[in-house]
């Protein structure tokens, strides 16, 4: 996850929910984690303690290659870290809410290896962790807190906008 996604999900009160999706292992690198505000960092620490998120503390990224990647692609450090780490493992999907980061990730990793925070909310609905209504309420909170997210209605999260 990149910091933007963590911040959005935390603002929407859904960070713990998406970290509880049974089919995914949520991880955050040291750079992306360091970009989170104190409140988000505290939420990450609690989720880490509960075993719902892993800190990637020993990443195999070369510092020079990292700096070159950031400059070449014009990305923020957290987005660059996510993409570079995912590029090391063909099974990894990244969660990124930064538009430029998403575009670069799609071109480097492929369309099927990128998701955003509202996509994770949809997965949480699909997994039965929250209702369509709860997902949409979280999305609205994320937008109200300043999240730059696409406009979607409750139907995006499931067939019935009311369940």
Structure confidence by residue, pLDDT tens digits, 88-114? 889 999 999 999 999 999 999 999 999
Nearest to 4 by CA among 134, 81, 116: 116
Residue range 18-53, pLDDT digits in tens: 999 999 999 999 999 999 988 899 999 999 999 999
- Whole-angstrom Cα Rg for the chain: 15
Give CA angle at 92 (39, 125), nearest 5°.
60
The confidence score (pLDDT) of residue 57 equals 80
The CATH code of domain 3-117 reads 3.40.50.1010
Residue range 56-96, pLDDT digits in tens: 887 788 999 999 999 999 999 999 999 999 998 899 999 99
Q: How far apart are CA 105 and CA 48, in angstroms?
A: 25
**pTM to 2 decimals?**
0.93
Q: Are 113 and 92 in contact (CB under 8 A)?
A: yes
- Is the pLDDT at 162 greater than 60? The verdict is no
Q: How far apart are CA 16 and CA 79, in angstroms?
A: 21
Percent of the chain with pLDDT over 90: 90
The domain spans of the chain are 3-117
Give CA angle at 145 (71, 158), nearest 5°.
95
Nearest to 57 by CA among 90, 28, 94: 28
Q: Are 130 and 163 in contact (CB under 8 A)?
A: no
- Is the pLDDT at 163 greater than 90? The verdict is no
The confidence score (pLDDT) of residue 82 equals 94
């Amino acid at each position: 996850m990149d910091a933007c996604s963590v911040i959005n999900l935390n603002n929407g009160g859904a960070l713990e929910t998406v970290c509880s999706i049974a089919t995914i292992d949520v991880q955050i690198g040291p750079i992306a984690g360091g970009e989170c505000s104190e409140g988000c960092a505290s939420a990450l620490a609690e989720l880490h303690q509960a075993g719902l998120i892993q800190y990637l503390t020993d990443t195999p990224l070369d510092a020079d290659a990292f700096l070159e990647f950031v400059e070449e692609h014009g990305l923020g450090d957290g987005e660059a870290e996510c993409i570079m780490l995912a590029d090391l493992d063909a099974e990894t999907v990244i969660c990124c809410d930064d538009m430029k980061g998403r575009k670069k990730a799609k071109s480097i990793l492929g369309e099927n290896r990128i998701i955003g925070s509202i996509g994770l909310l949809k997965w949480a609905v699909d997994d039965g962790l929250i209702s369509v209504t709860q997902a949409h309420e979280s999305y609205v909170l994320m937008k109200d807190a300043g999240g730059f997210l696409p406009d979607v209605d409750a139907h995006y999260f499931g067939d019935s906008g009311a369940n």
